[in-house]
Amino acid sequence: MKKLMIILALIISASLLGIPLWVLRDYSGAPPGTPENEPVVRVLNKTTGKVTALPLEEYLVGVVAAEMPANFAPEALKAQAVAARTYTVRRMFRYGAKPADAHGNAEICTDPVHCQAWSSRDELKAKWGRVRYYINIAKIEQAVKMTEGQVITYNRALIEPVYHGSCGGHGTENSEDVWNNPVPYLRGVNCSSEYRVADQVLVKVFDQAQMVSLLQQAGMNAAPAAAAGGTLMAPLKKSPQGRLQEARVLGQVMTGARLRQVLGMTSTLLQWEAAGGKIRVTSIGKGHAVGLCQFGANGMALDGQDYRKIISHYYTGVQIQKLKY
């Protein structure tokens, strides 16, 4: 009876505090065993249009394989697995999520712009080749297995674990400097350990006429002076880390994110220079630079940090907890 009263007291306290009961058990540090009643996630394949039901942990193998290079260090792959699991569980009906209009009766899709990338095992065999497939998939399966059931929480609630390819070694951004709304665990942090920063630079050279055409196709009507050879682009506002937030383009204001998209660059860490009728545009890094930096995570792993340290570095004030299946 005493034990029952203690359990009831815990349940009532958790309910009053708004704590999700399915994540009450903190991760102890030991590799978890295979859980009973593993959740199934309904996945919309954006290429085929089909919805497939997959065991959560099996689905995550395909996500990690698609989202992070398989040659990254094991601890980086583990951090990616935990972030991807958290992202997925937040969207699962079993845990109270509501269907997204774009998904129909699916909980998540394979479009990395809308959700997370995912590759089937057949696709991975074609991508890597049969021999490399068995090496890579064993490594990724191990990363998923060693973090089985683990999710990231802030104040006992699942976080929105956004991640990106590379911050270019310039540090990550506060959420409000990219998407306007501040999130307490999405704070900009130092990323000096990013691995192979030099590989994250993209350079494109445009003719002035080509640049004007691209901008006009994006809805920016050229002012006469700009079209005649005046200033096509000028930065107006940058984030604390130096990423372009707004620019004056053909006499009008355009967001840095939109300009990046129009020019086909990889990040808003943009620079450009004009000379001889040509415009040379450079971007450093890949993605929005909020949350987990994948190349930075690999750098930390190569420096000897484990996945818990990586996660707590890129997501401020969070905990790793264990799902109750």
User: Position 105: which residue type?
Assistant: N
Here the tokens at position 165 are: 């390819």
In 3D, which of 52, 55, 58 has the Cα closest to residue 94?
55
In 3D, which of 187, 74, 287 has the Cα closest to residue 82?
74
Least confident of 52-66, 189-203, 222-236, 278-292: 222-236
DSSP state of 26: B
User: What confidence tier does 212 reach under pLDDT thresholds 50, 70, 90?
Assistant: confident
Cα distance between residue 128 and residue 139, in whole Å: 13
Least confident of 109-113, 124-128, 249-253: 249-253
pLDDT digits (tens, 9 = 90+) for 117-134: 999 999 999 999 999 999
Query: Would you say the pTM of this structure is higher than 0.75?
Result: yes
The pLDDT assigned to 149 comes to 95
User: What confidence tier does 213 reach under pLDDT thresholds 50, 70, 90?
Assistant: confident
Pairing of β 201-207 and β 278-284? antiparallel
Instruction: Report the run of H or E that residue 203 belongs to, with start and end.
Output: strand 201-207
Provide the 10 A C-beta neighbour count for residue 254.
20
Here the tokens at position 79 are: 């951090």
Residues 6+ apart with CB under 8 A from 129: none
User: What confidence tier does 223 reach under pLDDT thresholds 50, 70, 90?
Assistant: low
pLDDT digits (tens, 9 = 90+) for 27-71: 444 334 445 678 999 999 999 999 999 999 999 999 999 999 999
User: Position 285: which residue type?
Assistant: G
What is the longest distance spanned by two Cα atoms in the chain?
Answer: 86
Three-state SS sequence of 146-181: HCCCEEEEECCEECCCCEECECCCCCCCCCHHHHCC
Here the tokens at position 217 are: 């196709």
**Residue whose tokens read 């007291």:** 9
In the chain, what are the domain boundaries?
Answer: 18-161+306-322, 163-290
DSSP string, 92-154: -GGGT----GGGTT-SEES-TTTS-----HHHHHHHH-HHHHHHHHHHHHHHHHHTTTEEEEE
Residue 26 pLDDT > 90, yes or no?
Answer: no
User: What confidence tier does 9 reach under pLDDT thresholds 50, 70, 90?
Assistant: very low
User: What confidence tier does 104 reach under pLDDT thresholds 50, 70, 90?
Assistant: confident
Cα distance between residue 121 and residue 30, in whole Å: 28
The pLDDT assigned to 18 comes to 39
Q: What mean pLDDT, rounded, does the chain reach?
A: 86
